[in-house]
Amino acid sequence: MVSDWRAEYGRGFNHDVKLRYIGGDPWSNPEGYLERSPLTHVKNAATPTLLLHREADNVDTIEQSMNFFNFSVLWETGTPARFTRFPREGHAIREPRHPRVRYGEEIAWMQKYVLGLGIDWYTKSAKLVMPAPKPREPRTGRLRRSL
C-alpha cells in the first residue's frame, strides 16, 4: 500500500500519480498529496484492516504499510489490524509457498470479518499481530512450515 504519497513520490509510478491521480508534484500541490494519503485519514479508520507486504518491494516500500499499521490509531482504538510480511519478495510474489500463505490470510480474514464466522488464527508468517493471539490447544496432524 501507499500510505503517504509525499514519501512515495519519486520511487515508482509517479508519472501517472502526477498527471491523473493527484496532479502536480508534492511541492506545487502539497494539499493534494496530503488529502490523498491514507495516513492523513487513519484517525477515522474503524474497519478491520489486513496489510500484506513484501519486504524487498522497491516500488512501494514496506515502510508505507508499516507506518500505517504502527503509527496509526488502529492500535489506540482497538480496531482489529494484522500485518504480514513476506521476506525476500519484491513487488511480485515469486516463492511458491508465499501465495498459499497470502491466500490463507485473506480467506481467514474474510471468514472472520466479512462472514462473521468467529474464526481466530495465527501463522508464523505474521511478525506483528494486533490484538495478541489467544493461546490455542495443540494441533494434531501435519504442522505448516514457517516462511
Q: Domain extents for the chain?
A: 1-44, 46-133
Across the chain, the runs of DSSP E, i.e. the strands, are 49-54, 81-86, 128-130
Tens digits of residue pLDDT in 12-70:
656 677 777 888 888 899 999 999 999 898 888 888 889 999 999 988 889 988 888 87
Instruction: Specify the higher pLDDT residue, 127 or 43.
Output: 43
Q: What pLDDT shows up at residue 13?
A: 59
In this predicted structure, the answer to whether residue 139 has a pLDDT above a threshold of 60 is no
Length, in residues, of the chain: 147
3-state secondary structure of 102: helix
C-alpha cell at 76: 489506540
Q: Using the CB atoms, write b or e for 7-43: b if 16+ within 10 Å.
A: bbbeebebeebbeeebeebbeeeeebbbebbbbeebe
**Sheet hosting strand 128-130, strand order edge to edge:** 49-54, 81-86, 128-130
